[in-house]
């Protein structure tokens, strides 16, 4: 049994949030001199403990013997494991477990399972000689779920909250020479009931561990408020000084303050932008004063307040940061230690139904983000964090919600540096007991500890614009208590909590705990209704919308038409950033596993794979749509087609950092291109400019003008030339009668041996697709949520081959008509009865000869697009290899919409098979190496076998994507209506005479 706490069993008691844990503070790295602090030199007072630790797992904390924390970490059962890391990914017979709502074990709270996996981490260390006389503090960055600390067999402390650090003073337990450190981590606890989040349940020490040496008198905390108004900043800073022994700080100690010139991700500030500080950094010294009042002692503090003129304001567009250097001076005037804090001058407020940053109404172009790596789980590195943020910036994302817990402080540092608005969220979610624990007095201290410690650690970050009280944890008295504390401790930021408006209503609900209306997955019409009808006086910012599960994110452009043009509405946060697939070895290969594939029961299957990016940080096709709806500059036709209307959608910067270019296409083929001359366009301003003189729109063809904006110079998040924004304007349209197809050039080689009938087989009607996750959960048929389309299609039998021939309700006639010259016209006449409303598609499907391995088309591209996710695509002639499955779970993919023609190309023997639509004029096409039935049958990519022939779909109509896996289904205008349909297209086979990237203007990429 564990020494000291074994009989107390704090892991089973929700009222015990810590034992012996030191107070939270902002991250501080101690240096001996101001220069070392400014250089961010390695501190002599920090000893990293990351690396390989001795490790042993037990089935329950009651079964951990005293010798496991006090004896030698050697012998049977001991092994090594990485720190940071998750033992659930390290082969110790304890695996990840995924649930969304339900707990991984039976309740009710605070009941725990009989088996309670417990890991004992062991290592030794020697206290450096230079540390004598200083206090030695252990910093434990994060442990899931709860932990206890032992030094040389003696109990030191106990802590909770998997996502915030805990610190313990080890000094009194240290010995000369080698010291033994043991950290016991219990996988599940009473606290797990408030960590019931939509993610993998892991276990272990997933953030960094280090030792720190603090002087007897030291800087214990530095709190900074840096506001901005009309070009000036107001800096109010307070340093708290402490004695390690708890005694009063002697008289004569002082604090000296320095404010360095600003920098941002684009480079250093110009000389004339340096601030004017109304106190001299060399003499800005404030004495340490004891805050002594009758009946009160709140510590020793030194404060400074100053107005700083001509500051560079911090925003996500202009992330100007200043470095505040704080020096602690002893009574002799010598520097005892120096620390730094990066700060930004900015003001956040809510006024007139708007969330304002520095007095301007921002639009939140956000995502929700979990910590995740496919190999390391929750143990993400600073490089992982930077890669996430860089990819966000490259896709015009300007905000991130830390769902659903505080991130490593280095993530917030990077958001400050690179420019992202942040919703910092307390690690509180009691989803399985959504409406009960928020009023449970046993969990009151948990609520308060988690929210208050988050604020105490993160309060100096300018990127944080909202404090969130947690997620999906009801709305009750515990929230009221936490909100009141935060409002008193930090009145500079508004509060955010979705549960209040969910349970109490958008108009007036939860005013005491949330200053914004922040719903989840509300339909477009409801968001617009709130704004247009002035339902409430708080701004609406969706905390989650457009669930990115598999092939998803339909109607993003519809949401953004409302977000950007509706008063009282200011955008939202997409769900979510990355898939949570975990790399798993299977049958000599590997796959990205989801819930249930580790034998974890209960589970919520592939609901964990709902990211805009893959688990390996590869963008899913929807990210092009995300980047487009978030684009910072827009181009449209000016009134009466007289030129171009350019709008700067940024709030704080002009367009001087971008270079504009244009591309002219006639019938999809590039005929001219050049740079676009644009005058200065300030934030939220518009200008009208003439067309470039080379632009012309002849009769008898389609003419499209695309305008693209790229970075002028390198930045910290993208190189010069990175594509930031693009738009397309239509100058002419031409719908001509489709003539018989002509040869692709003058080649008259004999085609008798290669006829259309030989190139195409198994032509049939298609009303079915391999269901997307939004159509319905093929892996979780028992799941009550999600879309209902799949259930209908299966009930109608559309998933069975030839279903349209078996169902007498489907009136279908197909003709294959041979034309002179060898072309074949395919005609489908279909009448869909009302009973079969909302099928997947009305189209034709066939298989192509295996020699056809490339595709080319004139339509929307180049990336995958669907009827309700095509606003980002451009009209052109595009070419390349058929798409490979981009989604973790096989489902429909690879569509291209509004195709004027679609070609399959055989490099050998240099043939082109063209699909030319007759009725309707534009069709939706795809060509993949898998049939719909292959895709639907496969549970993951390892079960999917690439066929030798391409399966080609030609659709008169295709159902949109929507976001019904968690949110609204496909909007009515993107569904397939019942009634009569006619699809006719011509198949022609000709020699390949135009290279894919030749003068015909085919584009392989934008």
Question: What is the DSSP track for 871-892?
Answer: TT-EEEEEEESPPPP-SSS---
Provide CB contacts within 8 A for 296, sequence distance 6+.
none
CB atoms < 10 A from the CB of 874, how many? 21
Kindly report the backbone phi and psi dihedral angles of residue 768, in degrees, each rounded to the nearest multiple of 5, phi listed first: -125, 155
Task: Considering only the C-alpha atoms of the chain, give the largest distance between any 2 of them, rounded to a whole number of Å.
Answer: 105
Distance CA 582, CA 594 (A): 7
Residue 389: Cβ-neighbour burial (10 angstroms; 0-12, 13-18, 19+):
buried
CB atoms < 10 A from the CB of 154, how many? 17
Distance CA 787, CA 30 (A): 54
SS3 content of the chain, % helix, strand, coil (to 5): 15, 35, 45
State the DSSP H helix or E strand holding residue 824, giving kind and residue range, or none if neither: strand 824-832
State the DSSP H helix or E strand holding residue 789, giving kind and residue range, or none if neither: helix 789-796
Place of tokens 């012996």: 20
Contact 521, 553 (CB under 8 A): no
Active-site residue numbers? 472, 544
Beta strands in 589-716 (DSSP E): 589-593, 633-637, 644-648, 658-666, 669-675, 686-689, 703-711
Contact 930, 914 (CB under 8 A): no
Chain centroid to CA 112: 32
State the DSSP H helix or E strand holding residue 70, giving kind and residue range, or none if neither: helix 66-70
**3-class DSSP string for 927-943:** EECCCHHHHHHCCCHHH
Distance CA 956, CA 491 (A): 57
Place of tokens 């096409």: 925
Token couple for 973: 């205008």
Cis? peptide before 827, omega within 30° of 0:
no
Beta strands in 310-370 (DSSP E): 322-329, 335-343, 348-351, 354-357, 360-361, 364-369
State the DSSP H helix or E strand holding residue 293, giving kind and residue range, or none if neither: strand 289-293
- For the chain, what is the total number of helices (H) and then of strands (E)? 14, 59
3-state secondary structure (DSSP) of residue 620: coil
Kindly report the backbone phi and psi dihedral angles of residue 824, in degrees, each rounded to the nearest multiple of 5, phi listed first: -130, 130
3-state secondary structure (DSSP) of residue 37: helix
Place of tokens 């009930």: 795
CA dihedral 145, 148, 149, 150 (to 10 degrees): -140
The strand pairing partners of 951, in sequence order, are 847, 928
Q: Using CA of residue 531, residue 535, residue 539, residue 540, what is the dihedral sign?
A: negative
Query: Which of 793, 801, 795 is CA-nearest to residue 771?
Result: 793
Distance CA 384, CA 84 (A): 13
Provide CB contacts within 8 A for 594, sequence distance 6+.
98, 580, 581, 605, 606, 607, 608, 609, 888, 889, 940
The strand pairing partners of 664, in sequence order, are 672, 705
Token couple for 809: 């309700």
Chain centroid to CA 826: 44
The strand pairing partners of 935, in sequence order, are none
């Amino acid at each position: 049994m564990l020494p000291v706490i074994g009989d107390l069993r704090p892991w089973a008691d929700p009222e015990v949030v810590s034992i012996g844990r030191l107070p939270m503070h902002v991250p501080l790295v101690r240096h001996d001199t101001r220069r070392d602090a400014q250089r961010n030199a390695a501190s002599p007072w920090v000893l990293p403990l990351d690396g390989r630790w001795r490790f042993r797992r037990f089935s329950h904390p009651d079964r951990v013997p005293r010798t496991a924390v006090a004896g030698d970490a050697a012998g049977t059962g001991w092994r090594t494991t990485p720190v940071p890391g998750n033992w659930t990914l390290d082969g110790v017979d304890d695996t990840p477990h995924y649930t969304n709502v339900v707990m991984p074990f039976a309740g009710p709270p605070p009941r725990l399972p009989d088996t309670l996996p417990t890991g004992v981490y062991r290592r030794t260390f020697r206290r450096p000689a230079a540390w004598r006389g200083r206090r030695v503090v252990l910093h434990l960055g994060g442990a899931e779920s709860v932990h206890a600390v032992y030094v040389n067999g003696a109990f030191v402390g106990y802590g909770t909250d998997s996502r915030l650090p805990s610190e313990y003073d080890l000094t009194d337990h240290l010995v000369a020479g080698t010291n033994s450190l043991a950290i016991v981590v219990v996988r599940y606890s009473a606290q797990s009931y408030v960590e019931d989040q939509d993610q993998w349940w892991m276990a272990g020490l997933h953030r960094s561990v280090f030792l720190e040496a603090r002087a007897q008198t030291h800087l214990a905390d530095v709190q900074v408020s840096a506001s901005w108004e009309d070009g000036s900043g107001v800096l109010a800073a307070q340093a708290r000084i402490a004695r390690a022994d708890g005694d009063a700080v002697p008289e004569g100690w002082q604090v000296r303050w320095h404010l360095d010139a600003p920098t941002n991700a684009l480079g250093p500030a110009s000389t004339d932008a340096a601030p004017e500080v109304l106190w001299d950094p060399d003499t800005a010294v404030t004495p340490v004063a004891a805050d002594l009042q009758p009946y009160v002692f709140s510590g020793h503090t030194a404060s400074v307040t100053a107005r700083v003129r001509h500051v560079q304001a911090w925003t996500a567009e202009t992330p100007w940061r200043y470095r505040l250097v704080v020096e602690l001076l002893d009574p002799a005037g010598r520097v005892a230690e120096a620390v730094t804090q990066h700060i930004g001058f900015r003001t956040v407020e809510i006024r007139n139904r708007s969330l304002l940053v520095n007095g301007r109404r921002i639009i939140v172009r956000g995502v929700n983000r979990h910590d995740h790596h496919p190999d390391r789980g929750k143990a993400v590195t600073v490089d992982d964090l930077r890669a996430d943020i860089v990819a966000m910036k490259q896709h015009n994302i300007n905000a991130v919600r830390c769902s659903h817990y505080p991130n490593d402080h280095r993530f917030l540092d990077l958001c400050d540096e690179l420019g992202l608005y942040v919703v910092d969220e307390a690690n509180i979610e009691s989803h399985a007991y959504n409406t009960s624990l928020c009023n449970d007095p046993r969990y009151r201290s948990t609520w308060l500890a988690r929210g208050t410690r988050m604020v105490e650690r993160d309060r100096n970050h300018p990127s944080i614009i909202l404090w969130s009280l947690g997620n999906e944890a009801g709305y009750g008295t515990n929230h009221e208590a936490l909100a009141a504390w935060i409002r008193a401790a930090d009145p500079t930021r508004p509060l955010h909590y979705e549960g209040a408006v969910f349970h109490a209503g958008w108009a007036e609900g939860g005013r005491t705990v949330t200053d914004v209306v922040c719903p989840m997955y509300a339909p477009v019409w409801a968001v617009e209704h709130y704004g247009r009808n002035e339902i409430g006086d708080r701004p609406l910012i969706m905390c989650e919308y457009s669930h990115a599960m598999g092939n998803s994110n339909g109607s993003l452009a519809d949401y953004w038409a409302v977000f950007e043009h509706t008063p009282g509405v200011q955008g939202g946060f997409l769900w979510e950033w990355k898939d949570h697939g975990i790399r798993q070895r299977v049958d000599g290969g590997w796959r990205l596993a989801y819930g249930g594939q580790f034998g974890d029961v209960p589970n919520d299957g592939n609901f964990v794979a709902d990211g805009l990016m893959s688990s390996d940080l590869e963008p899913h096709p929807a990210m092009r749509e995300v980047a487009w709806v978030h684009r910072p500059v827009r181009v449209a036709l000016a009134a009466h087609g007289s030129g171009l209307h350019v709008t700067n959608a940024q709030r704080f910067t002009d367009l001087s950092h971008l270079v504009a270019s244009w591309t002219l296409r006639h019938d999809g083929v590039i005929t001219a291109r050049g740079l676009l001359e644009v005058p200065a366009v300030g934030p939220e301003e518009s200008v009208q400019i003439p067309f470039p003189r080379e632009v012309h729109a002849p009769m008898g063809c389609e003419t499209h003008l695309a305008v693209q904006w790229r970075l002028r110079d390198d930045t910290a998040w993208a190189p010069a030339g990175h594509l930031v924004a693009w738009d397309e304007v239509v100058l002419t349209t031409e719908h001509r009668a489709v003539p018989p197809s002509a040869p692709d050039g003058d080649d008259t080689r004999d085609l008798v041996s290669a006829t259309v009938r030989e190139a195409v087989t198994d032509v049939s009607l298609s009303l079915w697709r391999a269901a997307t996750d939004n159509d319905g959960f093929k892996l979780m048929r028992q799941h009550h949520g999600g879309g209902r389309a799949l259930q209908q299609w299966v009930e109608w039998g559309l998933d069975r081959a030839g279903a349209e021939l078996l169902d007498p309700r489907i009136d279908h006639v197909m003709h294959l008509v041979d034309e002179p010259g060898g072309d074949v016209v395919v005609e489908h006449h279909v009448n869909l009865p009302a009973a079969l409303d909302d099928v997947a598609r009305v189209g034709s499907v066939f298989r192509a000869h295996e020699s056809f391995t490339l595709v080319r088309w004139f339509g929307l591209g180049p990336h995958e697009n669907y009827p309700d996710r095509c606003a980002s695509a451009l009209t052109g002639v595009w070419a390349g290899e058929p798409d490979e499955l981009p989604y973790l779970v096989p489902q429909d993919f690879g569509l291209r919409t509004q195709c004027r023609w679609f070609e399959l190309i055989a490099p050998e023997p240099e043939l082109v098979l063209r699909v030319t639509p007759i009725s309707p004029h534009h069709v939706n096409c795809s060509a993949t190496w898998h049939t719909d039935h292959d895709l639907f049958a496969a549970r993951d990519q390892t079960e999917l076998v690439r066929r030798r022939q391409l399966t080609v779909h030609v659709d008169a109509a295709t159902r949109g994507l929507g976001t019904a896996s968690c949110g609204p289904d496909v909007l009515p205008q993107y569904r397939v209506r019942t009634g009569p349909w006619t699809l006719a297209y011509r198949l022609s086979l000709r020699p390949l005479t135009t290279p894919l990237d030749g003068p015909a203007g085919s584009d392989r990429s934008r």
